[in-house]
Amino acid sequence: MKNPSILGRFLIWKVKNLKHRYFILIMSIIIGTLSGLAAVTLKNTVHYIVILFTKSGFFDIREENYLLLAYPLIGIFITVAYIRLFTGQQRLGHGITNILYAISRKSSIMKRHNVYSSIIACTFTAGFGGSVGMEAPIVGTGGAIGSNIGQLFRLNYKTTTLLVACGATGAMAAIFKAPIAALIFSLEVLMLDLTIASIIPLLMASVTGALMANLLLGEQILFYFSLKDTF
């Protein structure tokens, strides 16, 4: 009989030494960290692409320039080419819709490329000036992170669904730096059970994602403003 792999030995050790609820809490922190890193990566890549086009001499935004109309089309073309050539799909779909479909029809199983494909597609589309948001792609990425970790550790449908929600919550908390709003989003949109067993992992993933965003992006909120006049 062959010796079990590293993952197999870990699973055996987990069953013997680690209670399931503690394992879920540890996974929620790991997933929140990874989702927060994904959100920071997406925001930074879009930001630096915008800087590349507006401040490096590609064109002067202070003057009339018809390339401003062409760049969004170029970004969309690159995104479509990437999706069809590297993912084998015709389209990626909406991030939140993908999560709901995976939970209801596919036993919370999401493909591995969903971990990074939404980030790449959104980077080109939004970075080139396309009229899109970063919320849905990063939520889909977070959900895919949770789903693939659940598949890696051979977890059942209910636990994998919880990890999918943890990923989506951590990503939402990181992109907006709003952990409580992200928790409410997951409970309302993903329609999880309102129990302590689900709320605590979601809260831990949410706080972890927001902390990663604060650590790497600073403490300014997404929509920053300052008051110049007294109230």
Tell me: the pLDDT tens digits for 139-151? 999 999 999 999 9
Query: What sign does the dihedral 105-110-113-114 (CA atoms) show?
Result: positive
In single-letter form, the type of residue at position 124 comes to F
- The chain-wide mean pLDDT, for the chain, equals 85
Tell me: the pLDDT tens digits for 85-132? 887 776 666 778 889 889 989 999 998 988 998 899 889 888 888 877
**DSSP sequence for 90-134:** S----HHHHHHHHHHHSTT---GGGGTHHHHHHHHHHHTT-S--S
Burial of 132: CB neighbours in 10 Å, binned 0-12, 13-18, 19+: middle
Tell me: the pLDDT tens digits for 32-71? 999 999 999 998 998 888 887 777 655 555 666 677 788 8
Tokens of 167: 């990923």
